[in-house]
Amino acid sequence: MDPRRLPTPATALHAPAGAGPGSGASGAVAAAAPAAPGSAEDPRERLLGAGLRLFAEQGYTGASTRELAEAASVNVAAISYYFGDKAGLYRAVCRRAVGEPEVDIARFAAPGLSLRQVLAGFFEGFIVPLRLGDVATLCMKLYAREMVEPTGLGDRTFVAAVQPVHDTLTDVLARHLGIADGADTDLRRLVVGLTALGVHLHSGRFITEQIAPGLYVDAVALDTWADRLTAWGLAMVADEARRHGWRFDADGAPASAGRTPLPGAVAEPLDLASPDT
């Protein structure tokens, strides 16, 4: 998720403030009057914020166009003006919720990063949205609803956002581990497992905050999550490296492409200690 593309908490949780301006097409045009796109005063942004909240809490079918318009303080016709129809608004909300995969990829795919830095950058992509508070929760609810109540409108958006990140992390790990075949099944499984660590921070947050209060309480707590996820991720990679005889160096440069370990090769000693300790 790219936090720069998410609605701000104030916009996402915008409360209804009465009927929208005017009626019919003229009302939609009047709703476009503010000249500060991206601000809380921009009707398009208010619709995106209202859509995120209502679609996440009530689902696509449960959120009516009238409710969406009232929550955004615009006329119903504004939905057609900006998005074509309710389905278009839903697609736009989904695109906004997942953000641009290039932003997440840039955190961990820069040349020369150590394996430790790669994983730290990867998991940072899960931590940053949590700093936005309720917005991250709403985005996860939206994603979960699409999984259990598929609309057919958002699935391609979610896949298009996740696939490049998965493929890039797979390729980066392959270079670090000296694996020629980036399609290796166990490597793909490892990437899914690493991703699960970050996803659970969001999907399991509701339960976690009840059974283990305080783990999300402030910036220090989130920094601790970032540190621990990186350490656990390294341990997972190390275990697979030991199992397969892959190269492993937490703080070294990536291995050259195409260096496939020979059958029966012995993994290099595993050093998980941070260079700062």
Q: Does the structure show a pLDDT above 90 at 153? A: no
Alpha helix (H) ranges present in the chain? 9-12, 24-31, 43-62, 65-72, 77-83, 86-98, 101-106, 115-130, 134-148, 155-177, 185-203, 205-211, 219-244
Domains of the chain: 3-97 (1.10.10.60), 101-244 (1.10.357.10)
pLDDT at 125: 92
Mean pLDDT over 14-19 rounds to 31
98 or 268: which carries more pLDDT confidence? 98
Burial class (CB in 10 A: 0-12, 13-18, 19+), 250: buried
Lowest-pLDDT range, 1-10, 31-40, 42-51, 113-122? Answer: 31-40
- State the Cα–Cα distance between residues 217 and 152, nearest whole angstrom: 36
Q: Over the stretch 223-252, which tens digit does the pLDDT of each residue have?
A: 999 999 999 999 999 999 999 999 999 998
Q: Which of 84-93, 144-153, 230-239 has the lowest mean pLDDT?
A: 144-153
105-131 mean pLDDT: 94
What is the pLDDT of the chain when averaged over all its residues? Answer: 80
Cα separation of 63 and 211, whole Å? Answer: 31
In the prediction, which pLDDT does 124 show? 95
Q: CA angle, 1 as apex, 201 and 257 as ends, to 5°?
A: 95
Q: Which residue did the predictor score with more confidence, 208 or 35? A: 208
Mean pLDDT, rounded, for 66-94: 96
Q: Is the pLDDT of residue 208 over 60?
A: yes
Measured CA angle at 139 (ends 147, 41), to 5 deg: 140
pLDDT of residue 155: 76
The predicted pLDDT at position 49 comes to 95
Nearest to 272 by CA among 119, 165, 128, 107: 119
